[in-house]
């Protein structure tokens, strides 16, 4: 199935909005994580806010971005596995979703701690929030760069599709 120009523009718009919304939400999460790490147990209670941000914005935006991007690739000439940049972007996005899913337990645990709670496990979890949010932000920015620059290079599947399309025209 190929999408018409109107549907392609709508999908592209939705994908850009969800992807860049995710980047902004992760940046806000990172800012809160840095505040939580630098102020320690006596600082402002940022972890309940991070838990809300994760549950109501980051996870839904990540899943929507992944779903819309995948659907968009299936109904446009780019294809899902024809070009290396699309495959790499898909892998990066899946990695972000998986790591996010794995970190939700730590986020929830920090959010449930009473204000002023401290200990080595909590300190490690606080540092983990900064590390994972910063890494996630870098990965998402790399995916955005791939979307803009679209480096050349077809996968083996892409070359085979191109060759079979050329054979059909002859």
- What average pLDDT score do residues 78-100 get? 94
Q: What is the pLDDT of residue 22?
A: 98
Please state whether 79 falls in left (phi above 0), alpha (psi between -120 and 50) or beta: left
Query: Domain of 142: which CATH number?
Result: 1.20.120
In the chain, the number of structural domains is 1
Q: How far apart are CA 98 and CA 116, in angstroms?
A: 30
Q: How far apart are CA 153 and CA 170, in angstroms?
A: 24
Q: What is the pLDDT of residue 78?
A: 84
Does the structure show a pLDDT above 80 at 169?
A: no
Give 83's strand partners.
154
Least confident of 21-25, 146-150, 159-163: 159-163
Label residue 168 by pLDDT band (50, 70, 90).
low
Q: Please write the tens of the pLDDT for every residue from 122-142.
A: 999 999 999 999 999 999 999
Q: How far apart are CA 103 and CA 23, in angstroms?
A: 17
Domain residues for 24?
5-169
């Amino acid at each position: 199935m190929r999408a018409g120009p109107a549907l392609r523009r709508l999908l592209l718009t939705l994908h850009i909005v969800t992807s860049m919304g995710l980047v902004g939400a992760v940046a806000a999460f990172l800012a809160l994580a840095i505040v939580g790490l630098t102020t320690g147990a006596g600082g402002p209670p940022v972890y309940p806010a991070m838990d809300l941000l994760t549950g109501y914005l980051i996870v839904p935006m990540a899943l929507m971005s992944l779903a819309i991007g995948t659907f968009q690739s299936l109904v446009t000439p780019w294809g899902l596995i024809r070009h290396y940049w699309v495959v790499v972007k898909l892998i990066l996005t899946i990695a972000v979703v998986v790591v996010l899913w794995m970190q939700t337990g730590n986020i929830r645990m920090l959010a449930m701690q009473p204000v002023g709670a401290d200990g080595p496990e909590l300190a490690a979890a606080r540092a983990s929030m900064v590390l994972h949010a910063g890494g996630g932000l870098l990965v998402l920015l790399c995916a955005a760069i791939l979307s803009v620059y679209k480096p050349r290079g077809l996968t083996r599947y892409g070359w085979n599709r191109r060759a079979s399309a050329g054979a059909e025209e002859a």
